[in-house]
A and B are shown apart, each in its own frame.
Chain A
Amino acid sequence: MASTLTAPPTLRDLFLSFLKIGLMGFGGVAAVARHVIVVERAWLDDAEYGRLIGLCQALPGANTINAAVMLGDRYRGPAGAVACVVGIMAAPLAILVMAATAYDRVAGDPLARLALTGAAVSAAGLVLGTAAKLLVRAKPSPAAWACAAAALIAVAALRVPLPWTLACLAPLSLIGAAWSTRRL
């Protein structure tokens, strides 16, 4: 593991690395995050990074923010976690403020509205395509497929509130997962 050979990163290193991840994450931070953490900084190898992200996916919150918290804390404690989170959010929030200001200015313009509606239906497609891709890649068990389908139908078609959906399906899904890993 490369990180045992070199000195642990400083708060400044952590902040700057995650600043870069935030700044370059147009179209999703996941790919940039892997590149900076695994290739450029060699803080983790590919397998360790995969395990980290795997855990982050099962926790509440954005995956990259969770990864930022865990890596920052590993090297520099809670201050490191804060440095990483502030780093990853700084540039995107500044850009978002600019975009939101620009939007407020054109919000009444019919063509701008139409363009943003086009962007919204496209972004919905992006969410669908990404989720479908990750779902296939996760190779779910039949029980897990059933839970994913039930979640989709409950929330999209029946409009069941998310807390209720999770309260019903998460225990079932976890029991299913416990069952299928037992037989391995």
Chain B
Amino acid sequence: MNGRLLAQLAAIFGSLSLISIGGANVLIPEIHRQVVETHAWLDSASFARLFAISQAAPGPNIMLASIIGWHVAGLSGLIVATVAILTPPAIIALIAGRGVRRWSESRSVRVLTAGLVPLALGLMLASGVVATRASGGGVAGYAITAGVGLAVFFTKRNPLVWMGLGMIAFLLLQVR
């Protein structure tokens, strides 16, 4: 297996994990930049398809790194990418979890949450925009993105239902 490729995967996902405040969904534009634009491991549309699979599969969103690792370097790529994106935040969580038992109601935690959570959610919105642009679905694609977004926003149904309906609607619009 290509050791250099695995080292690059580890470096990319390990460093991005440190700024994945609010989860991997804030990282989509940056992962796209790294794997599509900088390293050209895959094209934009393939990136979007792997993103779709990682969203439809059960489990946390960081599995976008896992499936890109798989695509780039097979099973060892999947393992390296997954461990790389998991480990740094896990160590931070371990330390923070121990600290917070002492100052759980403290003002610093409140400030951290009030300051960083809305920022992370703004970044997540940007991720959605970049993902739909990357998928190359054209006007129909933007319409489906908007429709699914509104449905998820206004209802409590399992979002996978809307994702399935969105996919069917997109196919119907394209295959006419």
Task: Report whether B62 and A125 are in contact in the complex, using a CB–CB cutoff of 8 Å.
Answer: no
Which residue numbers of B lie inside 8 Å of A, CB to CB? 16-30, 33, 45-46, 48-63, 66-67, 70-71, 75, 78, 82, 86, 88-90, 92-94, 96-98, 100-101, 104, 107, 109-132, 134-137, 140-142, 144-153, 158-171, 174-175
Closest to A145 in B: B118
Give the residues in chain B near A115, CB-CB below 8 Å: 167, 171
Give the residues in chain A near B110, CB-CB below 8 Å: 177, 181
Task: Report whether B59 and A89 are in contact in the complex, using a CB–CB cutoff of 8 Å.
Answer: yes
Task: Report whether A60 and B123 are in contact in the complex, using a CB–CB cutoff of 8 Å.
Answer: no
How far apart are the CA atoms of A66 and B66 in the complex, in Å?
Answer: 18
A39: Cβ under 8 A from any B Cβ = no
Give the residues in chain A near B146, CB-CB below 8 Å: 125
Task: Report whether B53 and A173 are in contact in the complex, using a CB–CB cutoff of 8 Å.
Answer: no
Closest to A54 in B: B113
Q: For residues 129 through 174 of chain A, which have their beta carbon under 8 Å from a beta carbon of chain B?
A: 129-135, 138, 140-141, 144-145, 147-152, 154-156, 159, 161-163, 165-166, 169-170, 173-174
A92/B59 contact (C-beta < 8 A), A116-B52, A156-B125 known = yes
Task: Report whether A156 and B94 are in contact in the complex, using a CB–CB cutoff of 8 Å.
Answer: no
Q: Which of B58, B70, B167, B174 contacts A97 (CB 8 A)?
A: B70
Give the residues in chain B near A133, CB-CB below 8 Å: 152-153
Task: Report whether B150 and A151 are in contact in the complex, using a CB–CB cutoff of 8 Å.
Answer: no
Q: Which of B71, B94, B128 contacts A124 (CB 8 A)?
A: B128
Known: A57-B21, A61-B62, A99-B56; 13 extra A-B contacts, CB below 8 A, are: A26-B160, A29-B60, A57-B117, A61-B23, A118-B168, A118-B170, A119-B163, A121-B48, A125-B166, A131-B127, A135-B121, A175-B115, A181-B110
Closest to B140 in A: A121
Task: Report whether B113 and A131 are in contact in the complex, using a CB–CB cutoff of 8 Å.
Answer: no
Total chain A interface residues with beta-carbon distance under 8 A = 94
Q: Is the interface of A mostly helix, strand, loop or mixed?
A: helix
Task: Report whether A126 and B60 are in contact in the complex, using a CB–CB cutoff of 8 Å.
Answer: no
Which residue numbers of A lie inside 8 Å of B, CB to CB? 22-29, 51, 54-66, 69-70, 73-74, 78, 81, 85, 88-89, 91-93, 95-97, 99-100, 103, 107, 113-135, 138, 140-141, 144-145, 147-152, 154-156, 159, 161-163, 165-166, 169-170, 173-178, 180-181
Give the residues in chain A near B144, CB-CB below 8 Å: 118, 121-122, 125
How far apart are the CA atoms of A66 and B96 in the complex, in Å?
Answer: 10
3 A-B pairs with the lowest CB-CB distances in the bound complex, closest first: A92-B59, A61-B89, A129-B152
Task: Report whether A22 and B82 are in contact in the complex, using a CB–CB cutoff of 8 Å.
Answer: no
